[in-house]
Amino acid sequence: MELETLLSLLLFSAPLVWFLFLATKKQSKFQKTPSSTAIPKTYPIIGSVFSIYANFHRRVHWISDILQTIPSSTFILHRSFGSRQVFTANPAVVQHILKTNFPCYRKGLTLKRSVGDFLGDGIFSADGETWKFQRQISSHEFNTKSLRKFVETVVEVELNDRLLPILSEASKNQTVLLDFQDILQRFTFDSICRIAFGFDPEYLHSSLPKTMFVKAFDDSSLISSVRFNAAIPLIWKVKKILNIGIERRLKEAVAEVRGLATRIVREKKKELKEKATLESVDLLSRFLSSGHSDESFVVDIVISFILAGKDTTSAALTWFFWLLSKHSHVENEILKEITGKSEIVSYDEVKDMVYTHASLCESMRLYPPVPVDTKEAAYNDVLPDGTFVKKGWRVAYHIYAMGRSEKIWGLDWAEFRPERWLSQDEDGKWSFIGMDPYSYAVFQAGPRVCLGKEMAFLQMKRVVAGIMRQFRVVPAMDKGVEPEYIAHLTSLMKGGFSVRIEKRSHKDQ
């Protein structure tokens, strides 16, 4: 019966897929990088597939440009076979999605089918009771005691024993170029594994080893993103059935990722069984001690937390150091704040780095680690701006577009200006002014607000303090050349971030 179903699917879909492939190929000859920000044309059955295909390589920027031209900051994209996706950069709509009508907007089946092979039932793709359980257990890992331990042990050791020595060695020879994005990803990968699982992958070793796991993890993220954003999802589904092309690579990559994640889980199980009490309780120990014996489910949790800890924080820091290299007044203000702290910045001192905190917020406004977040409507709804949403439609709030919205940030939205987050008293002391979370949704908001927000800020500020006290990160690119912002499940600097490391002199401080 399964063979008959497969043959029927192929006979039905092959001519249609071939027609659409030829059509999109023909269209791409004329529309590689369209400059128009008009709402894309829609055709029967295939929707706006031509425009989606032509703009796939710059989809984040394309949708952002369209949203900036629409008074309501909301529009509906027609996908193939009657599917619809609502995009918005309207804070009132974002609040409706994330809080007011939270029960309606779930992760949904489309996301589940697209990323399920990679993330399984982990917290990023889970809904309902599965999501609530993971969030409840995870919340214990983000109390003050755990955060202090994270900063004063894991981050401190990773910074002083691994990251700074690598930068010091690079600073001795100015012909040496480092991919700073890669270095930061290694740092955050080691850090999340150590704090969440009690496992040290030693990825930030001085030899900068290449590992099959990280390559497989990055490929899994990329291909899952391609699936989710596909102009014609039917194509990847057929490829999956036939086990060809990138779907074959995804299967291999996921097997590699789940292999290491399974080893981490089994070693932790063994440790829990052999020891009456653990010296420290990490996130993985909490899940395994909660009574869940389904190994596959716990592996899903491990993979999701690696994604959260490795890719988002490193992306934020990559763009931060690039922006810093272009704005000396911001660099000087942060240096002033850092040199006023102890040489080994304590947990309390890290929390008090107000100007640095504002600078990171401003950097993530322009270059958010996650540019778009998508939900799926569980039932019919009407958004605050009057847009009708049908059950099953995808609804996405566009974080990248919101950070570039003149309506939200004013005429100077394009400026990197940390002061927009601050007030200064008569003595020159800075105070942080928070932004409405539905206008600045970098960490989501409402019931699904990011649990790791404070941990991420503490880690980033400690890294900034440790690096900037000793070194200057200098981009190794031609003058006037700006790196390209791209996104899979999280954002990246295309091609990496090539830099030289300069030792900072005492007079700089």
Query: Which parts are annotated binding residues for heme?
Result: 450
Tell me which residue of 270, 309, 211 sits closest to 202, measured CA to CA. Answer: 211
Cα gap 141→287, rounded to integer Å: 11
Q: How far is CA 197 from CA 5, 192, 269, 298, in A?
A: 43, 8, 11, 11
The terminus-to-terminus CA distance of the chain in angstroms comes to 73
Strand partners, 372: 398
The DSSP code sequence of 259-310 is HHHHHHHHHHHHHHHH-SS-SS--HHHHHHTTT---HHHHHHHHHHHHHIII
Query: Phi and psi at residue 84, in whole multiples of 5°?
Result: -130, 150
Enter the DSSP assignment of 447.
Answer: G
Query: Phi and psi at residue 479, in whole multiples of 5°?
Result: -60, 135
Annotated binding site: 450
Q: Are 127 and 439 in contact (CB under 8 A)?
A: no
H helix and E strand count, the chain: 22, 14
**HSE value, Cβ hemisphere, 13 Å, CA-based, for 93:** 25
Evaluated on CA atoms 178, 179, 182, 188, the torsion sign reads positive
Q: Are 52 and 41 in contact (CB under 8 A)?
A: no
Helix (H/G/I), strand (E/B), else coil: 175: coil
Cα gap 501→419, rounded to integer Å: 27
Region of residue 108 (left: phi > 0; alpha: psi -120 to 50; beta: else): left
Strand partners, 87: 75, 396
Q: Are 111 and 126 in contact (CB under 8 A)?
A: no
Cα gap 256→214, rounded to integer Å: 9
Cα gap 496→486, rounded to integer Å: 11
- Cα angle 128, 251, 6 (rounded to 5 degrees) comes to 85
Parallel, antiparallel, or unpaired for β 430-432 and 491-493? unpaired
